[in-house]
Amino acid sequence: MKKTLLLITSLVFLTTIAFSQSKVNIKSWWSKNVKIDSSGTNDNGKRDGLYTQWYENGQKKWEGTYKDGKIVEEWTFYYDYYENGQKKWEGTYKDGKLNGLSTEWHENGQKKKEGTYKDGKKDVLWTFWNKNGQKIREGTAKDGKPYGKWTYFNEDGSVKEVKEY
């Protein structure tokens, strides 16, 4: 009887330890294809550590690091790759807000736009290109809004228009 009671107590103790861990790995699967959709670690219901998400074809969609459910103070966030594997966007976060260089690409790999954020708002020089890599506009921003001289270009690269903001 004592052995049985000791065995039951030990099993209850071990089960409690096994199921009381706060960190769990999160994975979702595509129905019958069994391809991972996303993975990461969850600590007490909050994202914690590296999170990655993939398209159904296996190409990475985005990846980023979290701590206590928030974006890690400073990190490069490769967001929303195209299904063909081409990177769509890259930027830097600080304290949960965009801060620093941000670059976006067209699906064919040509740059789409590039500029700087400060505290989550567009700041300083911003440049935009079409799918062929031709510059279409360029100017500065301040507090998230166009500021100063903006130049707009024709398809042949010549200046189409200059606006002051």
Q: At residue 7, what is the residue type?
A: L
pLDDT at 92: 81
Q: In angstroms, what CA-CA distances link 61 with 54, 104, 106, 112?
A: 5, 14, 15, 18
User: Is 81 a member of any domain?
Assistant: yes
Q: What CATH number corresponds to the domain at position 30?
A: 3.90.930.1
User: Is 11 a member of any domain?
Assistant: no
**Domain with 47 in it:** 23-164
Cα distance between residue 121 and residue 143, in whole Å:
6
Cα distance between residue 122 and residue 77, in whole Å:
17
User: Is 95 a member of any domain?
Assistant: yes
Cα distance between residue 78 and residue 57, in whole Å:
18
127 within 8 A of 138, measured Cβ to Cβ: yes
Q: What pLDDT digit, counting tens, does each position of 106-129 carry? A: 999 999 999 999 999 999 999 999
* Count of other CB atoms within 10 angstroms of residue 14: 10
User: Is 122 a member of any domain?
Assistant: yes
* Count of other CB atoms within 10 angstroms of residue 105: 19
User: What is the tally of structural domains in the chain?
Assistant: 1
User: Is 13 a member of any domain?
Assistant: no
Percentage of the residues of the chain whose pLDDT score is greater than 90: 39
Lowest-confidence region among 12-16, 24-28, 88-92, 122-126: 12-16
Which regions of the chain does DSSP assign to beta strands (E)? 23-29, 36-43, 46-47, 49-54, 60-67, 70-71, 74-79, 89-94, 97-105, 111-118, 121-129, 135-142, 145-153, 159-164
Q: What's the pTM value of the predicted model, to 2 decimals?
A: 0.65
Whether pLDDT at 160 is above 90: yes
User: Is 10 a member of any domain?
Assistant: no
